Amino acid sequence: MALLELRDVSAAYGAIQILYGVSLHVDPGEVVSVIGPNGAGKSTAFKVIMGFINHLGGEIVFDGKSLVGQRPNRVLGLGLGYVPQGRVVFARMTVRENLEMGAYLERDKARIQQAMDYVFSLFPRLGERPRQLAGTMSGGEQQMLAMGRALMMRPRMMMLDEPSLGLSPRFVDEVFDKIGALAGTGLTVMLVEQNAARALEISDRAYVLELGRNRFEGTGRALLANPEVRQMYLGGQGAAAG
């Protein structure tokens, strides 16, 4: 059974409809990417799952429970982590304080410390500088912090919205390496990503959205090899498909 499933979901920002009957599913332990051109509705799909924007119709089910009408904190409490686009961190707070904010629903101090130790094991650079202000870190380090903060509740699934956006090539490589490492622990991952080729390379399956609707779906390898997907969304580059 799918861990997350969207069935014919429509959504809007205020009066402006963005999604028109989008359907997708993510099975336990999978890495699933959502790609497509700007304005396709990729980030909107994440936001309607989390309860940030208007849900107009369709079903959203996580771990057998409907998310329709749920507040974001309730969604987080069900085990669905979310890393928004743009390396959103609390700039004037330390690394440790940012991570503690990620565990604000947890009251057991021992469990919070265990979660922090887990994050530091995944991101050693954060463990080396727990007292550093987040605003003084590089963009790549802030992205690691945002990912670490989402892991503080030990979610069953994590959604990453454009994790490589604006990063240097070195940090892009590191972010994708970390996503692979997280998947290796059994964490289910769904990501929206502008770097479509890299996303497809690490994905079990993927969806292509266009103008708020499903356009293609398949395995990451199959979509990398699809001539139309290559031409429209990968800049005609097909080397990665081999």
The residue whose two tokens read 């089910």 is: 61
- What is the per-residue pLDDT for 236? 57
Q: Tell me, yes or no, whether 112 lies in a domain.
A: no
Q: What percent of the chain has pLDDT over 70?
A: 97
Q: Is residue 85 part of a domain?
A: yes
Between CA 176 and CA 73 the distance in angstroms is: 27
Q: How many domains does the chain divide into? A: 1
Contact 202, 220 (CB under 8 A): yes
Assigned domain for 100 exists = no
Domain limits for position 224: 4-89+156-241
Assigned domain for 101 exists: no
170 exposure class (CB count in 10 Å sphere: 0-12, 13-18, 19+)? exposed
Is the model's pLDDT at 49 over the cut of 80? yes
Residue 131 lies in a domain: no
Torsion angle (degrees, nearest 10) of CA 101, 11, 228, 241: 20
Note whether residue 149 is domain-resident: no
Please state whether the predicted TM-score (pTM) of the whole model is above 0.85.
yes
Task: Say what angle helices 95-102 and 139-151 make with each other, to 10 degrees.
Answer: 40
pLDDT digits (tens, 9 = 90+) for 115-163: 999 999 999 999 999 999 999 999 999 999 999 999 999 999 999 999 9
Give, as one character, the DSSP assignment of residue 237: -
For residue 203, what is the domain's CATH number?
Answer: 3.40.50.300
Is there a domain that residue 29 lies in? yes
Q: How far apart are CA 155 and CA 221, in angstroms?
A: 27
| Per-residue pLDDT tens over the stretch 168-200 | 888 899 999 999 999 999 999 999 998 999 999
Contact 55, 48 (CB under 8 A): yes
pLDDT digits (tens, 9 = 90+) for 14-44: 899 999 999 999 999 999 999 999 889 999 9
Question: 110 in a domain, yes or no?
Answer: no
